[in-house]
Amino acid sequence: MKVSLMITCLCDSFFPEVGESFVRVLRRAGAEVSFSPDQVCCGQPAFNAGYHDEARRVARTFLKAFQEAEYVVSPSGSCAEMVRENFLRLFNRYPAELEQAKALSKKTYEFTEFLVKVAGVRSIGGRFDRKITYHPSCHMTRLMGVKDEPIQLLQSIEGLTLLELPRAYDCCGFGGTFSVKMPDISEAIVTEKAENVLQSGADMLVGADMGCLMNIKGRLEKMGHAMPVMHMAQVFDQAQGGL
Amino acid sequence: MAAGNRDLHGRIQSAFRHPFLRKAVKSATNTLRDRKNVVTHDLGHWEDWRNLGMQIRNHVIENLDTYLQQFAKNMLQQGAQVHWAVTAEEALSIFQTIIDKHSAKLVLKSKSMVSEELHVNHVLEDRGIHAVESDLGEYIIQLAGETPSHIIVPAIHKTRQEVADLFEKDSGQKQQPDTASLTRYARQKLRQMFLDAPIGVSGCNFAVADPGAVALFTNEGNGRLVTSVPPVHVVFMGLERIVPTFRELDVMAKLLPRSATGQKITSYMSVIRGPKGLGEQDGAQEMHIIIVDNGRTRILANPKYQEVLRCIRCGSCLNVCPVYRQVGGHTYGWVYSGPIGAVLTPLLQNDLKNWGETAYLTTLCGACTEACPTKIPLHEMLIQLRLERTVSGATSSLERTAFRLWSETWGNPTLYKLSMKGGYIGQKPFMKEGHLEGGPTPLSAWTNSRYFPPIAKETFRDRWRKGEI
Ligand code: SF4
C-alpha cells in the first residue's frame, strides 16, 4: 500500500503537527508513505469562487505531482472531494488532462475513509481518556458520503467518550472565501456552532477537516473559551502512543 | 419585473438589525426541518421517493410541450379558458381583461408564488382594484407591505406580537397576541370578502395533464373558498408545474407536504377540473388558467440550469440552509428566497450583474441539495452562477486581480513555498499570543470575529525534507 500524501495547504503551512500525526497513523496502518514536494493547493478556493481558469492553472500543477501515486490520501474531505469530483468538472473540456483527472479521482481518498475501506482498519487501538464531541464536515459527509467511518474509528478507542454535538450536521459557516466575503453571516453561523459545541458537554472538539476546525476554534477562542480542538489524526496518533 | 432591492449588503445589514426576525426564522425553520425528518423517516425509503420525484419531474420537463398541450386541451374541453403569457406584462394584461369584463373592484387571493413574481397586488392596487390575500401568512405580509420571506411560510419572520400590532393598526382595536385570536380576527375580516369578491385567484401546485386538473395543497381551507365561492376563478400557473397523470400526482403528494411542513398530507387538497358543470353544486361559473412563462423557457433552453425547473416549491432547501436561517428571506431581495431563490432570482431576472450576487449567499455546504425532494443540485448551480459572473466580468477588478495573482503564485511549487515564507514574515506585526489579530482586509474580516492561526515557522514540507517525519 503506497500512499502519496495530499497534505493540503492548511496542514502544510498552518498545522504541520496534524500532518505528522496523519503520517504516523498511516504508517501504523501499514502504508508506505511518500510526499511529493511538487504539490500545491488543489484550487478549491478559486473553483468555488467561480474563477475556473485560475483554479485550472493551479490544479494542473497538482495533477502532475500525483501521476505516479498508487493512493492519494488527504486529511481533509473537502480537498479530497475537490480532486475526486470537481477536477472532473474543471477539466471536462480538456481531454488529455481529463484522463489524468479521472485516474486521480479513482485513487483519491479522505483519511478515515482510506483507513477503513482500503487499509481495512477496524480499530485504532490504544487509549484516549477524553470526553470529546465530533463535528462532521459538510463536504466529507454530504458530498463524499463519508459519514460512519470517523465515528466507527473514534468509538474503537478505549477511554474515549463520544458526546453528541447538537445539530452536528449543520455547516460551521466557513465556506472558504464566504468567511471573508460575508463575514457577518459567517460569524453568526459559527457562533451557533460554537454554542452547540459548548452545550455538548465535551471537553474537546474533534473533526476531520482543518478548515472547519480552525473556524470553530478561532470563534471559540474569541468568545473566551480555550477548548482544545484536535484533528482526528491527532486523536488516533495520541491513542496509539504518539511519537 | 425588476421590482425589489438590489443592494445585497444593505439587505444583510437590515437582517442583522432585526434580532427578533432572526430568532423567529431560526426557531420556525428548526421546527419545520425536524418535523420533515420524522415524517420522511416514517414513510421509509425516502431516497427512493426522491429518485422517483426527480425522474417524474425530469420526464415532464423533457416533454413539456406535449404535456402542456394535453393539459390545455383537456381543460378547454372541461370548460375552462386557457391563456398563454410569455412575459409578466402579458400575464397581467390577460388578468386585467378578465377583471374588466366583470368590472371587479375586489379580488380575493389564495397563495400563489407566481402572482408574487408578477407583483399582481401592486399592479392592481395602482389601478384602484383591491386585491386581498386570504392565506393568513400572506394576509399578514400584505398588511405589512412586504414580500414573502419564505416560500411556504410567508410571514415566518414575524413574531405573534408583531402580527398583533399589525392587526391593531388595521382595526384600531386592541388585539391579543395569541394564535387563536389572531386567526379569528383574520377570518372575520375575510369571511365577508369571500362572499363579496367577484373574482378568486389561486396558484397551482400541480397541473395534471390527463385528465386535466389543477391541484392545490393548502392548510387553511381558504384555497377551497377562493376557488369555489366567487363566480370567477383565475389560476396563475408556472408553465413547468405539470404532472402527467394522477399517478404521478400521488408521488408529488408524498413529497410536497412532507418536505414543506413535515406533514403527511396537507389539511386540504383541492383538485379542480373546470368550472361548475350543469347540475353541479360547487365551483366557479367561469375558470381561467393563465400559464406563465416569464423566463422559464429561457431556463429550459439552458442545459446548465434546466434541472432547476424540477422545483416543486416546497421550501425544504430554505429550512436547512445555514445562510437563510441566519438572515431570512428578504435578504435575497426579490420574491424567492433561500438556495432556490439564490438560483432562480438571477435566472428569472435574466440579470447576473445586478442580481447574481445572491449566488454568494451560500457556504456551499450542500444541505440544500441533500434536502431537495427532486434532487436539484442547487449548490453546483450556485458555483456555476459564480463562474458566469466571473466570466462575464461582473466581479470586481480587485477580486479578479487577487485570484490571478493567487493562481500565478500557487500554481508553481517554488513560488508557493516562497509565498508561505513571505506570509510567515509578513504576519509578525499581527501576532498576539499565538494567533493573529486585526490585519488588512480580507484578514480583518476573519479576525474581527475569530482568531486566525499563524503560519508555522517550519512547514510540513520543510520538516519532511529534513527527514524529520
Ligand atoms: S429547490 Fe428543491 S428543496 Fe428547494 S424549494 Fe424547490 S423542490 Fe423544494
Q: How far apart are CA B132 and CA B124, in angstroms?
A: 10
Q: What is the DSSP track for B115-159? A: HHHTTHHHHHHHTT-EEEE-SHHHHHHHHHT---SSSS-TTTT--
Domain spans, chain B: 1-33+313-395, 45-294, 407-465
HSE toward the beta carbon, residue A65, CA cutoff 13 A = 24
pLDDT above 90 for B221 = no
Query: Looking at the predicted structure, is the pLDDT value of residue B4 above 80?
Result: no
The amino acid present at B172, given as its one-letter code, is G
pLDDT at B28 over 60: yes
Measured distance CA(A182)–CA(B9) in Å, rounded = 9
pTM for this predicted structure:
0.96
**pLDDT over 90 percentage in chain B:** 89
**ipTM value of the model?**
0.96
SS3 B108: strand
**Tens-digit pLDDT profile for residues A164-177:** 999 999 999 999 99
Is the distance from the beta carbon of residue B312 to the nearest atom of ligand 1 less than 6 Å? yes
Average pLDDT, chain A: 97
For residue B345, give the 3-state DSSP assignment.
Answer: helix
Residues B269-287: tens digit of each pLDDT:
999 999 998 888 889 999 9
Compute the C-alpha angle B37/B40/B45, nearest 5°. 130
Q: Which CATH architecture has domain B45-294?
A: 3-Layer(aba) Sandwich (3.40)
Domains of chain A in start order, with CATH, are 2-117 (no CATH), 131-239 (3.40.50)
Residue closest via CA to ligand 1's atom 3 equals: B372
- Taking the CA of residue A74 and the nearest CA in chain B, the distance in Å comes to 14
pLDDT tens digits, one per residue of A224-240: 998 999 999 999 999 99
Residue located nearest, by CA, to atom 2 of ligand 1: B372
DSSP class of residue A164?
A: P
Closest CA to B242 of B111, B78, B64: B64
In this complex, do B410 and A40 lie within 8 Å of one another by their Cβ atoms? yes
Residues 6+ apart with CB under 8 A from B380: B369
Q: Of B240, B231, B11, which Cα lies nearest the Cα of B103?
A: B231
**pLDDT category, B3, cuts 50, 70, 90?**
low
CA dist B320 and B153 (Å) reads 14
Say if residues B337 and B318 touch (Cβ distance below 8 Å). Answer: yes
- The pLDDT-based confidence of B440 (bands split at 50, 70, 90) is confident
Contacting residues of B for A23, CB less than 8 Å apart: 469
Q: Of B330, B372, B322, B319, which Cα lies nearest the Cα of B29?
A: B319
Inter-chain CB proximity B461 and A214 less than 8 Å: no
B327 touches chain A (CB under 8 A): yes
- Which residues are CB-contacts of B430 (< 8 A; sequence separation ≥ 6)? B436, B437, B438, B439, B443, B447
Q: Which numeric CATH code is attached to B1-33+313-395?
A: 1.10.1060
Average pLDDT rounded to a whole number, residues B199-205: 97
* pLDDT tens figures, A15-63: 999 999 999 999 999 999 999 999 999 999 999 999 999 999 999 999 9
pLDDT of residue B174: 92
The rounded distance, in Å, linking the Cα atoms of A126 and B412 is 41
The DSSP secondary structure of B223-242, one letter per residue, reads: HHHHHHSSSEEEEEEETT-E
pLDDT digits (tens, 9 = 90+) for B68-116: 999 999 999 999 999 999 999 999 999 999 999 999 999 999 999 999 9
* Interchain proximity B390–A52, CB inside 8 Å: yes
Pick the residue whose CA is nearest to atom 4 on ligand 1. B317
Overall size of chain A counted in residues: 243
Q: Report DSSP state, residue A158.
A: B
Q: Per the omega criterion (within 30 degrees of 0), is the bond before B373 cis?
A: no
